[in-house]
Amino acid sequence: MAVTSFSEPRTYKQAVQHECWRNAMNAEILALQENNTWELTDLPAGKEPIGCKWVYKVKLKADGTFERCKARLVAKGYTQQLGIDYLETFSPVARLTTIHIFISVAVSNSWHIHQLDINNVFIHGDLNEEVYMILPPGFDSKKPNQVCKLLRSLYGLKQASRQWNAKLTSALLHDGFKQSTADPSLFTKGDDITYFIALLVYVDDILVTIANMELIQSLKNMLDTAFKIKDLGSLGYFLGIEVHKERNGLSLCQRKYALEILEEAGFLDSKPSTTPMVQGMKLISNEGNHLLDASIYRRLIGRLLYLTATRPDIAFAVQQLSQHVNTRTDTHLTAAHIVLRYIKGSPGKGLFYTTDSNLQLKAFSDSDWAACSEIQKSVTGYCVFLGSSLISWRAKKQATVSRSSSEAEYRALASTV
């Protein structure tokens, strides 16, 4: 009930009627002004300003209880023109496999895992392009017809994440960290295990693991001086993943996220299913009646794909369903509803990383030869363990047709490696 009991305004007119949202908007404007995000000026001839809007979000704790109201000023970056308002947009984020390895190694070594959050993260990036924006709703200037000349990056700009990542990377490298060549979002410092620090970045969310608590405080002071951080303490809720500390390890699940999926689809009161898929079911592209609203099926599959971050038990069923997002029918939607009913029976199921685990890498692979009855392609399945901790898994259709079951097995083995 806690998940479904909070509503968020959709427009500025709705939000301005409530004191909580007015305070959130004032706090956002104050933070942007203190950071010198823009300066008010007249619009130069030949320049087109981009728009902006307020986005409202109720922040909840891991148990679903209310934390705070958050208002974010977002630029309408979709109106930016390539080569004029921006040049490059790519920014790396931590892979889910890296997150699993990070937590597994930390738990195996009994290291502390802390979580940090950067306040107003994107406004720390410096802009290299000349970008103008209209005044935010509810914000007036002394002179009429003025616009904001952006000096720093802002949420919604196409280059925002890249500029922020470049600035954070520069600060960490200057402090002596080394950037991983396997995953650019992972930074390490120190060779001695007593003074070793590992830092993982996912946009504005940062995970830090360390054996010595004194070192983590100096790291927090450095980041707070440069960017103004919010110390969230020990890891508890990260990217929608709930982390629970137990006597002999950590358990990961997405219970809150799973309940949100069920609530949105109207399956909170559904009858649970014991399996995520009917045994032997073969989904065919044009079987059944086509769905008129494609967004319902696509959104559901997209959300289920992220749920597989801690639910390998539904990975194969979701892989089968994701093959038909362009040719969706009521038959495919019914199959997706079976997955929802299975989740209803165990919304808190997830992974467990034990402290009693070695760091030996083990991998298992399999294939289903000619599993696709339409184009005769096989399906690869694999899982990788670090000690007893599951860190990576996948069910995926092979790129080419295999002429024998042996060839399909070798292709699966190559994908696993």
Question: What is the pLDDT at residue 4?
Answer: 52
Beta bridge partners of 234: 114
- Contact indicator for 161, 180 with CB cutoff of 8 Å: no
The predicted pLDDT at position 6 comes to 65
Token readout for 204 is 């504005």
Residue 218's φ and ψ, nearest 5 degrees, are -65, -35
Q: Give the integer Cα–Cα distance in Å for 366 and 389.
A: 19
For residues 291 and 328, the answer to whether their CB atoms sit within 8 Å is: yes
The vertex-314 CA angle with 308 and 319, nearest 5°, equals 80
Q: What is the DSSP letter of 319?
A: H
Print pLDDT tens along the chain (417 aa). Answer: 555 556 788 888 888 888 899 999 998 888 888 878 888 888 888 888 888 999 998 887 756 677 788 888 888 888 777 777 677 777 778 899 999 999 999 999 888 899 888 876 666 667 777 888 888 888 877 777 888 888 888 888 888 778 888 888 888 898 888 999 999 999 998 877 778 889 998 887 889 998 877 788 888 888 888 887 888 888 888 888 888 888 888 999 999 999 999 999 899 888 999 999 888 778 777 787 888 788 888 999 999 999 999 999 999 999 888 888 888 888 888 899 999 999 999 898 999 999 888 889 999 999 989 887 778 889 899 999 998 999 999 998 998 999 999 999 999 999 999
- DSSP letters spanning 325-338: SSS-BHHHHHHHHH
Q: In the structure, how many helices (H) and strands (E) does the chain have?
A: 10, 18
CA atoms of 96 and 324, how far apart (whole Å): 24
Closest CA to 96 of 86, 104, 107: 104
Kind and range of the H or E run holding 277: none
* DSSP code at position 82: B
User: Under a CB-based contact definition with an 8 Å cutoff, are residues 73 and 29 in contact?
Assistant: yes
Token pair in block for residue 324 = 């038909």
DSSP codes joined into one string, 202-250: ETTEEEEEES-HHHHHHHHHHHHHHH-EEEEEE--EETTEEEEEETTEE
Q: At what angle do helices 213-227 and 160-174 cross, to 10 degrees?
A: 130
Domain boundaries, the chain: 12-239, 253-350, 357-416
According to DSSP, the residues that pair with 231 across neighbouring strands are 116
Residue 82: how many other CB atoms lie within 10 Å: 10
Tokens matching residue 115 = 């979580």
Query: CA nearest 166: which of 91, 82, 220, 83?
Result: 91
Half-sphere exposure of residue 107, counting CA atoms within 13 Å on the CB side? Answer: 30
Residue 51 host element (H or E): none
Token representation of residue 113: 């895992």
